[in-house]
Amino acid sequence: MITNLSIQNYALINQLSIDFTNGLSIITGETGAGKSILLGALGLVLGNRADLSSLKDTDKKCIVEAQFSVVNYNLKEFFEENDLDYEDRTIIRREILPSGKSRAFVNDTPVTLSALNALKSKLMDIHSQHQTLQLSDVDFQFSIIDALAKNQAKIASYKRGLRKYNSLLKELRDLKENQEAANQQYEYNLHLFNELEEAELQNGEQEELEERLDKLNNIEEIKLNLSEALQIGVNEEVGVQTLLNSLENNLQKISSFSKEYEELHARITSVKIEVDDIVTELENANEDVEFNPNELEEINDRLQLIYNLQKKHHVASVEELQKIHEELSDKVGAVENASDIINKKQAEIDEVASKLDEVALMITSARESVIPSLQKELEELLAELGMPNARFAIQINPVNNYLSNGKDELSFLFSANKGGNFGELKKVASGGELSRIMLSIKKVLSENTQLPTIIFDEIDTGVSGEVSNKIAKIMQDMSANMQVITITHLPQIASKGNQHYKVYKYDEEGVTSSNLKLLTQEERVVEIAEMLGGKDLSESAITHAKELLN
């Protein structure tokens, strides 16, 4: 429940701090005194959009802060999911800076407006005249029935399944569209694939073939230079080997005379060994060099195939052709295996749909089970509120398609008069009747679910006399289990509160401002007397006010 509301620089309010307690709290005040401003401030701190027009003084920031006792709301899991620090006494603060920038905090942790709005539904239900119009909204009607049917967990499960189902349907559509496009390209892709498959391209093949081709095209020059090099190495008179043999013999003869000569002899021996090895390789290379016109033709044909494929696919390497080969394999395989893939996806969809149907059936059954008692309770409450002939015709109609909250359509019809035809609420119920219907619904919900703090904004519109006493009694009953705050213009209701607040205007230095104060018992007598008879207080009005309070 809300325990304190603090407002600075908002609309007509300079500064305000007011405490609230449990039970039934009454707020009264003259028309235009600022009762709507309080609701606006509460809406702001709970996530409503804000703009600079909310600032009383546009040079200063606006701050609205609300404290809530949340110990009985089971909100620890919500706080953990939203990475917020849980406190039994939670403080929500909203700031609007002169620049227009808005900030929100929960227990001093910055939060987004979406998170704040999610928290709002768990803390406070603000009933306004606008919300009365929601009675004709199917989603709102479903929310009433599902709250009584305790369908929240089942609907959450259904929605997860529905998201999965819709995702799978999209995947199936994409598969079919891709298959259709692939079918159109299949023959061409298969031709391209077979070309690359038959080519049997190998990594590094192109470079190796180009090197071999270069060698064959220059075979005569290679043969000539190898022969000359070999002759230089092995010539008996002036060849490198002959000269090195002589040099080695000379140094061997003197190597024993000093360490220096010994090292020179070792070095020339090492050089001689290396030259002998080179000569051997030259001999082998010279023997291997042979012009083969068939090999030249084969290499030219192979390279031409590779070049043609590269030109066709606009690439410059065998590796890129191999990648295209893999891609074509996937495209061809996708078409050839498409039926199996589509059938598997359809089977997956059918399985999810079967589970969805099971959950939807449980949701439908739970809804149908609570409707008779809901109709009975609403009709009994409305009879107390001066509508003895009110009747509801609420019916669940199962459908085949998947809706956002199950597989049901809802018919929520109403008749206010005996023998009258049933019709949509917005067409057959007056404003005052809609207010009483909404109050009755909130009463039923409060008995069957854990509602947060509820604020009624002039829900007594269009009623008077004994009916107003009944409305007050219903609010009193509701306040036994929850915090109820009501803005009213009826003295019969104002007198039933556990505490009574008054909104009033005052002028200071030529500027009009609004404020809210908790009334003493004596002040309550005066306020209710004025509500009964106007500003000119009479003894009878004061006496009547005291009787109401007693």
Mean pLDDT of the chain, nearest integer? 88
The confidence score (pLDDT) of residue 330 equals 83
The pLDDT of 459-464, averaged and rounded, is: 75
The confidence score (pLDDT) of residue 210 equals 86
Residue 332 clears pLDDT 90, i.e. is over it = no
Residue 44: which of 1, 5, 85 has the closest Cα? 5
**312 membership: H or E segment, kind and range:** helix 293-313
Residue 209 clears pLDDT 70, i.e. is over it = yes
How long, in residues, is the chain?
550
pLDDT digits 0-9 by tens, 318-331: 899 999 999 888 87
pLDDT digits 0-9 by tens, 372-386: 999 999 999 999 998
The pLDDT of 401-416, averaged and rounded, is: 93
pLDDT band at residue 400 using 50, 70 and 90 as cut-offs? very high
d(CA 487, CA 36): 9
The confidence score (pLDDT) of residue 215 equals 78
pLDDT band at residue 180 using 50, 70 and 90 as cut-offs? confident
Residue 429 clears pLDDT 90, i.e. is over it = no
pLDDT digits 0-9 by tens, 81-131: 888 899 999 999 999 998 888 899 999 999 998 889 889 888 988 887 666
Residue 66 zone, left/alpha/beta (φ > 0; ψ -120 to 50; rest): beta
The confidence score (pLDDT) of residue 130 equals 64
The confidence score (pLDDT) of residue 297 equals 86
The confidence score (pLDDT) of residue 418 equals 86
The confidence score (pLDDT) of residue 187 equals 77
What one-character-per-residue DSSP string does 224-264 give? HHHHHHHHHHH-TTT-HHHHHHHHHHHHHHHTTT-HHHHHH
pLDDT band at residue 388 using 50, 70 and 90 as cut-offs? very high
Judged on CB neighbours under 10 Å (0-12, 13-18, 19+), 496 is buried
Lowest mean per-residue pLDDT among 149-153, 252-256, 484-488, 540-544: 252-256
Strand partners, 550: none
The confidence score (pLDDT) of residue 238 equals 65
Q: Domain ranges in the chain?
A: 1-125+454-460+482-519, 176-338
Residue 513 clears pLDDT 90, i.e. is over it = no
Lowest mean per-residue pLDDT among 233-237, 254-258, 294-298: 233-237
Task: Write 49-55 long-range contacts (CB < 8 A, 24+).
Answer: 49/113, 50/94, 50/96, 50/102, 51/96, 51/100, 52/96, 52/98, 52/100, 54/10, 54/11, 54/96, 55/9, 55/10, 55/96, 55/98
Tell me, what DSSP letter sits at residue 29? -
The confidence score (pLDDT) of residue 493 equals 92
The superfamily (CATH) of domain 1-125+454-460+482-519 is P-loop containing nucleotide triphosphate hydrolases (3.40.50.300)
pLDDT band at residue 23 using 50, 70 and 90 as cut-offs? very high
Considering only residues 334 and 310, tell me which one the structure prediction assigns the higher pLDDT. Answer: 310
The confidence score (pLDDT) of residue 446 equals 85
Alpha carbons within 13 angstroms on the beta-carbon side of residue 449 total: 20
The pLDDT of 28-40, averaged and rounded, is: 83
CB contact at 8 A, 135 and 380: no
pLDDT band at residue 237 using 50, 70 and 90 as cut-offs? low
pLDDT digits 0-9 by tens, 119-165: 988 898 888 766 676 788 898 899 999 999 999 999 999 999 999 99
Residues with Cβ < 8 Å from 212, sequence gap 6 or more? 295, 299
15-19, 122-126, 296-300 — most confident range: 15-19
Task: Write 11-14 long-range contacts (CB < 8 A, 24+).
Answer: 11/37, 11/40, 11/41, 11/54, 11/56, 11/514, 12/37, 12/56, 12/505, 12/512, 12/513, 12/514, 13/37, 13/41, 13/56, 13/513, 13/514, 13/515, 14/56, 14/513
Tell me, what DSSP letter sits at residue 125? E
The confidence score (pLDDT) of residue 240 equals 83
CB contact at 8 A, 517 and 502: yes
**549 membership: H or E segment, kind and range:** helix 539-549
The pLDDT of 69-86, averaged and rounded, is: 89
The confidence score (pLDDT) of residue 459 equals 82
